[in-house]
Amino acid sequence: MDFLFYMGDVFTPINFGLLLLGTIGGLILGATPGLSPTMAVALLIPFTFQLEPQQGLILLGAAYTSTVAGGAVSAILLKIPGAPANIATTLDGHTMATKGEGAKALQLSFLASAVGGIFGVFLLIFLTPVLAQWALAFGPSHLFWLAILGVTVIGTLDSSSVVKGLLAGCIGLWLATIGFDDIMGAQRFIFHPSISGGINVIPALIGLFAIPQVITMFTKGRSSDDAEIISVKRHPIRLAFVEVLRRKTALFIGTITGSIIGLIPGVGGQIAGLVAYDQSKKFSRESEKFGTGHSEGVIAAESANNAMVGPSLVPLLTLSIPGSPTAAVLLGGLLIHGIFPGPDLFMNYPQVAWTFIDSMLIGQILMCIFGLYIAGLAARVARVPHAVMAAVVLGLAVFGSYSVQNSMGDVYVMASLGVGMYFLERFGFSAAPLVLGLILGPIAEANFIQGSMIANATVGMGSYFFTGWLNWLLILIVLASVSYSIWMEIAQRRYTTKDDAVAKEEAMS
């Protein structure tokens, strides 16, 4: 029950103020189409430099939680999901809003988000120490395979092409090798003086997530988003509570589905919301009402996409393997404060770890309270013209990446990677495996070299890296994720024409 011991730290004036700031800011950012939770958290990192580690993490954690929930506002009132995680919410949420039940849909979405989110954080609280204890037994070969597992799982599950997903992971791993070699001190792949010290993760993350969005906004030209905000009529919150409790099957399915999906590295909130929506429809007595403005659709989708937030941090905090791009960005936030997550995080930095987790728990409640009150304001912010949004994001990206080390080199790296990533995305490559490769590359290399040294002095490379049940298990998961994705890709192609695939992909982008 360590989490109760540190609960008081969340309520110190500065910590609680940052939690409020992150929650309210996250709700507004989340409601803005084009600002994904990952990008919002990446842009916030420079603002945490001068804060204590736990304060910085509280801000980032609150922003992560509430951007996911805030995306429901524009999904319901504008029919534009604030983030991919809110796609399923538009199906019934917007229909409810057009029927004059916008306030009810928003209340249901925030209440369901809070229930799902709190369950997810409890899962994080109870699973993390157990896994961390277990992870203490990991040696260099296991950590090497874990890093490879992190890249391959995200590379294969997060991308529409297995080969391109793995290739993006390789690009990330290679980028991580640029700079000085830790063992021999040799310089590697220095093509320009600005990368002589290697690629700093924070500017890279900002560039990879923010700049492609900026360029995408440029491609819209001078067109205006003519989405109309649907006005909301008052709806008693008491009735929304009763409705959520009455739809407990949808709430249960959403929460459990989201929590399980959150634990699987690489499978994001978008999938959690859609799977929960689909399963709730299957188990509902009123399945024919789904898609016509049914409250169960909103409850299932929103409880799922917030329930995945907590569990998605379990691999990060226990094994230092970020399970999602946003977790990767949070890892960047930890690293700049000199904190390396892993099995010993709870022994070395219990206050940082538990205060952060506790703040996510309190953040869920704050998100629910403030979400209900500022939904209208958030929807108005969501209509900020994309010309202004693009310029604001670019300005923040440039200032944010410069402020990491007061270096123009970081700004060049940010812009180069960002522009490159935009073009890669247009050709079917995804940013997530590249980011994971960049972050996990040093872990993979350090453990590979350390493992090689141990292997050469003892049993040899083959025996060291390819024997033992834990190595086998990890290799098996790597192979299974690759095989499953290849099989899914082949099965999908068999039933989908190329034109359908192109249309689907354009709709998604």
Partner 1 sequence: MRSLPRSQHIIASGLIAAVGVTIAYISYTQEPAGAYVFPRLISSVFAVLAIWTFVKAVLGRTKVGNGISGEAMLRMAPGLVVTLVYVFWAAKALGFYTATTIAFFILVSLYDPAPHSQLKTWAKRVAITAGFMLVMYGLFAQLLNVFTPREILF
Token output for 439: 């972050």
369 scored as a contact of partner 1 (CB under 8 A): no
Cα 27 to Cα 217: distance, rounded to the nearest angstrom = 21
Nearest to 278 by CA among 260, 296, 259: 296
Give min distance, CB of 226 to partner 1, in A. Answer: 10
Cα 208 to Cα 36: distance, rounded to the nearest angstrom = 12
Query: To which residue do tokens 């600002």 refer?
Result: 35
Contact in structure between 257 and 279 (CB atoms under 8 Å): yes
Give min distance, CB of 129 to partner 1, in A. Answer: 32
228 scored as a contact of partner 1 (CB under 8 A): no
Give min distance, CB of 381 to partner 1, in A. Answer: 14
466 scored as a contact of partner 1 (CB under 8 A): no
Residues 100-129 that bind partner 1 (CB under 8 A): none
Give min distance, CB of 455 to partner 1, in A. Answer: 12
Give min distance, CB of 414 to partner 1, in A. Answer: 8
Compute how many residues bind partner 1; rule: CB under 8 A: 71
Cα 348 to Cα 149: distance, rounded to the nearest angstrom = 26
Query: To which residue do tokens 């709806």 refer?
Result: 235
Contacts with partner 1, 376-395, as mask; x by CB under 8 A? ---------xxxx-xxx-xx
Contact in structure between 190 and 175 (CB atoms under 8 Å): no
Cβ proximity to partner 1: between 238 and 499 the closer is 499
Give min distance, CB of 405 to partner 1, in A. Answer: 11
Eight-class DSSP state of 229: P
Cβ proximity to partner 1: between 314 and 382 the closer is 382
What's the gap between Cα 316 and its chain centre?
12
Count other Cβ atoms within 10 Å, centred on residue 317: 28
Give min distance, CB of 185 to partner 1, in A. Answer: 8
* Candidate segments 3-11, 294-302, 314-322, 406-414, binder of partner 1 by CB under 8 A: 406-414
Q: How many residues does the chain have?
A: 509
Residues 8-47 that bind partner 1 (CB under 8 A): 46-47
Contact in structure between 305 and 273 (CB atoms under 8 Å): yes
Give min distance, CB of 385 to partner 1, in A. Answer: 6
464 scored as a contact of partner 1 (CB under 8 A): no
235 scored as a contact of partner 1 (CB under 8 A): no
Cβ proximity to partner 1: between 368 and 390 the closer is 390
Query: Which residues 6+ apart lie within 8 Å of 413 measured at CB?
Result: 194, 195, 199, 200, 203, 204, 207, 401
Give min distance, CB of 270 to partner 1, in A. Answer: 17
Cα 200 to Cα 205: distance, rounded to the nearest angstrom = 9
370 scored as a contact of partner 1 (CB under 8 A): no
Residues 323-362 that bind partner 1 (CB under 8 A): none
Cβ proximity to partner 1: between 79 and 220 the closer is 220
Query: To which residue do tokens 């800011």 refer?
Result: 25
Residues 198-227 that bind partner 1 (CB under 8 A): 214-215, 217-224
50 scored as a contact of partner 1 (CB under 8 A): yes
Residues 280-299 that bind partner 1 (CB under 8 A): none
Residues 139-198 that bind partner 1 (CB under 8 A): 160-161, 163-164, 166-167, 170-171, 173-174, 177, 181, 183-184, 186, 188-189
Cβ proximity to partner 1: between 46 and 120 the closer is 46
Which of 408, 473, 480, 488 touches partner 1 (CB under 8 A)? 408
Cα 4 to Cα 9: distance, rounded to the nearest angstrom = 10
Cα 146 to Cα 342: distance, rounded to the nearest angstrom = 12
Nearest to 213 by CA among 61, 87, 457, 32: 32
Residues 483-502 that bind partner 1 (CB under 8 A): 493, 498-499, 501-502
1 scored as a contact of partner 1 (CB under 8 A): no
Token output for 429: 């490559």
Exposed/middle/buried for 507, CB within 10 Å: 0-12, 13-18, 19+?
exposed
Query: Which residues 6+ apart lie within 8 Å of 497 measured at CB?
Result: none
Cα 252 to Cα 304: distance, rounded to the nearest angstrom = 9
Cβ proximity to partner 1: between 9 and 445 the closer is 445
Give min distance, CB of 213 to partner 1, in A. Answer: 12
421 scored as a contact of partner 1 (CB under 8 A): no
